[in-house]
Structure formats: structure tokens, C-alpha cells
């Protein structure tokens, strides 16, 4: 009798362990609770910069940028104890990678010593935590726990600058009507496909 009770309790525990847990809050709206989260990482390099960047330090900085794979979406800033020509030298190296210097530098640990310049590369990452959810359909007349995972995971993976998900891009306030009309003109002037008829490709057989 004791053995049968123990076996029944073991089977019940196994059924509970195998049952998929309901992940995340119950969502009874039409919105997705699965949203991209943006995180930032700062990479720091201190270089000698008493009278600008010496040639060896420029080569070191260039190699560091290359090792980071510096590119669009990254932000480069310079933090100095005292103003020096180093900022212009760093700007020239960053321009080789297609980037401009940021106007302000993020706060980093420790102080920048006199005679040194701190180069900071800020890189943002976007992801959707907890996705995908494979816990099955919700029985509370609510959205599936995985609703929005595919859409927002793809968005987070494809966006060039993840900070655009937080602040977006500021407009210039001006526009050129001629530039905007070019696409419309091309669309109107291009003949529709198939306007000259369709021809079957020759197979070369008899």
C-alpha cells in the first residue's frame, strides 16, 4: 500500500514538472509585453596626449578601433583633464572609420590624469529578454506569452543604431522638395513591366 502511494506521488510530481509554466504576466490587451531592451557598454582607452596624439599613440588608437570593429551606431568621445589638441587628432582617426566625435563624454570609473586623454567608445545592444516563449496558448482569454517575440526580436537584430529605439533621430528641420520628388518622377516615368509583352524563353529543343 505504501509503495503504491509513493508511486502515485512520484507520478503526480513528474506530471507537474513536465507541465509548461506560464511565463510572464497575463496580457489581455492588444499590445505586446515582449519589447526590446537597450543596454550600453563603454570601452575605455587612455592615451598620452600632452601636445596632441604622438604617431605611436595614433597607431595604437587606430588598432584599438579596428579590434572593436568600430562602425555605425558606435559613439566615440574624448575625456581630458585639460583641453589639448588631442581631441582633433582623435577626430581624424575616428573619421577614418566614418564616425564623428560626440559632444559630451559618459562618466567612467577613475579620473583622467594630466597629460592623458581617455577615449571612450559607447556601444548599445538591443534584445528582447525571455524570448521566445514556448509555453503554449493562454487559457485566460489573453494573448499568447510569445506574442511579439518574433517581430521585436527581428527589429532588435536588424536596427543599425539600437539607441534609436530609445530616442530616435532628430530631424534637420529643413527638406529639399526636388530630392523628395526624384523618386516620384522615376516611378511615373518608368514603363510598367510587361508593357512590351511577355516572351517565353527558348528551350532549344524541337
Average pLDDT over residues 181-206: 77
SS3 track for the chain? CHHHHHHHHHHHHHHHHHCCCCCCCCCCCCCCCCCCEEEEEEEEEEEECCCCCCHHHHHHHHHHHHHHCCCCCCEEEEEECCCCCHHHHHHHHHHCCCCCECCCCCCCCCCCCCCEEEEEEEEEEEECCCCCCCCCCCCCCCCCCCCCHHHHHHHHHHCCCHHHHCCCCCCCCCCCHHHHHHHHHHHHHCCCCCCCCCCCCCCCCC
* 111 lies in some domain: yes
Tens of pLDDT along 41-67?
A: 999 999 998 888 999 999 999 999 999
* 67 lies in some domain: yes
Global pTM?
Answer: 0.63
Q: Which of 200, 155, 198 is nearest to 38 (CA)?
A: 155
Tens of pLDDT along 161-193?
A: 898 998 887 776 677 778 778 888 888 998 887
* Residue whose grid cell is 571612450: 120
* Segments forming the whole domain that contains residue 70: 41-124
Domain count, the chain: 1
* 165 lies in some domain: no
Amino acid at each position: 500500500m505504501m509503495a503504491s502511494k509513493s508511486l502515485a506521488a512520484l507520478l503526480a510530481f513528474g506530471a507537474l514538472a513536465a507541465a509548461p509554466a506560464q511565463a510572464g504576466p497575463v496580457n489581455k490587451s492588444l499590445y505586446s509585453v515582449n519589447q526590446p531592451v537597450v543596454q550600453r557598454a563603454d570601452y575605455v582607452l587612455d592615451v598620452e596626449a600632452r601636445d596632441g596624439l604622438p604617431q605611436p599613440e595614433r597607431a595604437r588608437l587606430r588598432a584599438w578601433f579596428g579590434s572593436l570593429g568600430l562602425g555605425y551606431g558606435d559613439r566615440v568621445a574624448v575625456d581630458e583633464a585639460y583641453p589639448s589638441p588631442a581631441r582633433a587628432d582623435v577626430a581624424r582617426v575616428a573619421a577614418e572609420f566614418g564616425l564623428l566625435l560626440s559632444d559630451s563624454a559618459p562618466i567612467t570609473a577613475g579620473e583622467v590624469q594630466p597629460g592623458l586623454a581617455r577615449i571612450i567608445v559607447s556601444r548599445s545592444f538591443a534584445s528582447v529578454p525571455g524570448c521566445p516563449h514556448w509555453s503554449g496558448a493562454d487559457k485566460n482569454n489573453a494573448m499568447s506569452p510569445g506574442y511579439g517575440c518574433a517581430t521585436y526580436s527581428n527589429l532588435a537584430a536588424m536596427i543599425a543604431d539600437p539607441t534609436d529605439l530609445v530616442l530616435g533621430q532628430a530631424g534637420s528641420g529643413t527638406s529639399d522638395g526636388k530630392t523628395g520628388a526624384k523618386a516620384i518622377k522615376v516611378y511615373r516615368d518608368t514603363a510598367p513591366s510587361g508593357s512590351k509583352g511577355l516572351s517565353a524563353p527558348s528551350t532549344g529543343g524541337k
